[in-house]
Amino acid sequence: MKSGSRLEKILAKGLFAVTGELSPPKGNDVSVVKRKADLLRGYVDAVNVPDNQTAIVRMSSLAASALVAQIGLEPIMHMVTRDRNRIAIQSDIFGAAALDIKNILCMSGVHHTLGNQVDAKNVHDLDSVQLIDCVRTLRDQGTLLGGEEKIEGKIELFIGAVMNPFADPFEFQVTRLAKKIRAGADFIQTYPLYDIKRFKEWMTMVRDRGLDKKVYILVTLCPLGSEEMIRDVENEFPRMVVPDEIVNRIVKSENSAAEGVKLCVDQIHEIREIEGIHGIHLINMGWTEITRQIAEMSGLFPRPKI
């Protein structure tokens, strides 16, 4: 095992993984973390803890992940390269390992002008692929970037990355997946799935290159309870467009929230039939309690004991 995390064990045993999301508060109110954790406990195998998502200032992912672990949930700590150079990145990885955080998700982060600190400066000393390689180097080689200076201690992290199967050029997204795997990604979480036909085409290309055998792929799902939530998803995920048929299904329904949940459950059943998929990642756009209902309705509750 590379980290011994619950998520890694679930995936290694061939079980269908379920991860959720716990967004840190816009401040230091620990009760926000505890309240969300109580809603998710027992319904997911691990929870993503975003890193100043959409470039909005929040409690650090490192601190929130440590709190999540104390509460009894397993965190997947996000790390974006937007806000840190390689010194800060490696320092925060040391801190995460010292706090016994076992999973990390490596991303570049959305542009700062989309958030609430428009006068900030992007760093991007490393890109997302280089960040993956950085974590792998610390873990597998026990050295700092550059490969010369040995670190004190041992880094044990299950390394995650993000992929957008719906972006253009379409074929390049498979090549980019291969690059992230070579860099050291152990698992992948996709952008939210709404275009199932396009996703199946992408997975065919993934399987043709044997990449589904080299990395665990978790499909991200985001239930849509209103037209406003549809727009929020499109704003939060660059180059993401929700197909008109999905928009119409939600907006024209007598009960948009119930229809959004039903759509998500239908998607889960269809996803589980796709070869090479190892789990789902449920995000909620602030609708945290809906994760429990979806897990129950789709037959993914209770979670296996590991």
pLDDT along the chain (306 residues), means of 10: 97 98 97 96 97 95 98 97 97 98 96 91 97 98 92 97 94 97 98 94 98 98 88 78 89 92 96 98 85 96 95
Residue 34, in any domain of the structure: yes
- Confidence (pLDDT) at 237: 80
pLDDT at residue 286, as a whole number: 74
Distances in Å between the Cα of 290 and the Cα atoms of 93, 265, 285, 301 are: 32, 11, 10, 13
Q: Is residue 195 part of a domain?
A: yes
d(CA 69, CA 67): 5
Q: What is d(CA 53, CA 36) in angstroms, rounded to the nearest whole number?
A: 17
CATH number for 154: 3.20.20.220
The boundaries of the domain holding residue 13 are: 6-218
- 233 domain residue, yes or no: no
Interhelix angle 227-236/244-251, rounded to 10 degrees, is 150
Residues 145 and 137: their CA atoms lie apart, in Å, by: 7
* pTM for the model: 0.96
Torsion angle (degrees, nearest 10) of CA 260, 32, 68, 295: -20
Q: Is residue 197 part of a domain?
A: yes
Q: How many domains does the chain have?
A: 1
Question: Would 120 be classed as within a structural domain?
Answer: yes
- Domain-embedded: residue 122: yes
| Residue 236 host element (H or E) | helix 227-236
CB under 8 Å to 3, separation ≥6 — which residues?
Answer: 102, 103, 156, 157, 158
Specify if 154 maps to a domain.
yes
Residue 12 domain-assigned (yes or no): yes
